[in-house]
Amino acid sequence: MPSGTSRLLHCTDMKRMLALTPLLIATAGVAQAPPGYWPPAWAVPIWRQVTSGPTPPSPSPASPSTPPSPTATPPAADSAEKRPRPPSAEEERQLAAAAMRQGNYAIAYYHWLPLAEQGDAEAQFGIGWMYHNGYGLVIDDYQTLRWWSLAAQHGHLDALFALGLLYASGDAEVVRNPRWAADLYLKAARGGHEEARALLIELLRDQGHRLGELTAGWKKEDWALLGQPQRLGANRANCRGEPDLEAAVVAVLDEGTPLIELSRRGEWVEVVVPTKALRGWLHESLLEPPAEAAPNTPRVLRPSEKLG
């Protein structure tokens, strides 16, 4: 350490350092290769460094250090004012994100953990991401689930999406649960998360036999998140399992049945039928034609309507 520099470690700093200890000694179990700076130098952020005069000599046995007397002169009142302010929560988030991009996982954890413990959703998601991917920590999806669930309770869209992925696939520590995955994808999709919407559609395709269970309680606007609303135009039509006239019929639909268009393949349209909780294919000729826009012709005013 440079002779003209001292580092101030307060109780908060010590708690953070202690929290980092398991992160630093778990190198044998990390999934990612340790960063090049490993082991960390236990650096304190720059804002905690203050410039002072020369370091006083250590007391010798001949002149033992004695505590100051009660009449000792108190420190100057303005000394605290010279200490730089601690970073804001937003600055801590930015420091953590920068450290993650650089592979400085211990530093990212140092900045995120206090925020996460105070209920910051972005920090909670970040720590869950570190546990899930083994960034400086032993992979532990139990901890991943804990931190992502806390972030999801605050409506964090990426946490909702990531939890959906976790429950859709499952692993040794998380039991696969497509129903929970669908609920989480739907909540994220309601917030505009496009990847969640796309994976929700894939999940419904994969779990077509459980469509009614996975979509129980859905509202009209939830179905509309999946695609373009349509209606059946023919008197009656066969909805097929595949886009082929020889494919098995999964349902017979009546005229006016509300549909949601998921995709197209040639002249065939993949749809879900909310009222029957099923997915299938219809030939495009069986759908109601799109409403034609009224011709854009100027209205001719009558003589009595003309101005001035």
pLDDT band at 72 (very low <50, low <70, confident <90, very high): low
Q: How far apart are CA 146 and CA 129, in angstroms?
A: 11
- Rounded distance between C-alpha atoms, residue 266 and residue 264, angstroms: 6
Band of residue 112 on the pLDDT scale cut at 50, 70, 90 = very high
Q: What pLDDT band is residue 76 in, cutting at 50, 70 and 90?
A: low
Q: How far apart are alpha carbons 33 and 97 in whole angstroms?
A: 19
How confident is residue 6, by pLDDT bands cut at 50, 70 and 90?
Answer: very low
Q: Which of 48-57, 95-104, 221-230, 244-253 has the lowest mean pLDDT?
A: 48-57
- Tokens 């236990």 label which residue? 42
Region 154-169: mean pLDDT is 95
* C-alpha–C-alpha distance, residues 283 and 82, integer Å: 75
Angle, vertex CA 224, rays to CA 221 and CA 227, nearest 5: 165
As given in the structure block, the two tokens for residue 1 are 């350490």
> Long-range contacts made by residues 112-115, C-beta under 8 angstroms, separation at least 24?
113/16, 113/19, 114/12, 114/16, 115/89
What percent of the chain has a predicted confidence (pLDDT) above 90?
A: 61
Tokens 């190198």, residue located: 27
* pLDDT at residue 299 tops 50: no
Helix (H, G, I), strand (E, B) or coil at 66: coil
Helices (H) and strands (E) in the chain, counts: 10, 8
Question: CB under 8 Å to 251, separation ≥6 — which residues?
Answer: 238, 239, 273, 276, 278, 280
Q: What is the mean pLDDT of the chain?
A: 77
Statement: residue 98 has pLDDT above 60: yes
The answer on pLDDT for 58 being more than 80 is: no
Chain segment 224-241, per-residue pLDDT in tens = 999 999 999 999 999 999
Given a cut of 70, is residue 264 above it in pLDDT?
yes
pLDDT value of residue 184: 97
User: How is residue 86 written in tokens?
Assistant: 């601690």
Query: What whole-number distance in Å separates Cα of residue 206 and Cα of residue 181?
Result: 13
Please state, in angstroms and rounded to a whole number, the distance separating the CA atoms of residues 160 and 122.
12
* Helix (H) or strand (E) segment spanning residue 291: none
- For residue 84, the model assigns a pLDDT of 80
8 A C-beta contact, residue 233 and residue 286: yes
Sign of the dihedral through C-alpha 91, 96, 101, 104: positive
The pLDDT of residue 26 is above 70: no
Contacts of 255 (CB under 8 A, 6+ apart): 232, 233, 234, 235, 236
Residue 120's pLDDT band, with cuts at 50, 70 and 90, is very high
Please give the model's pTM, rounded to 2 decimal places.
Answer: 0.69
* 164: Cα within 13 Å, side-chain hemisphere: 26
H/E element, 241: none
Flag the least confident range among 91-100, 150-159, 255-264: 91-100
Q: What is the mean pLDDT of residues 285-296?
A: 70
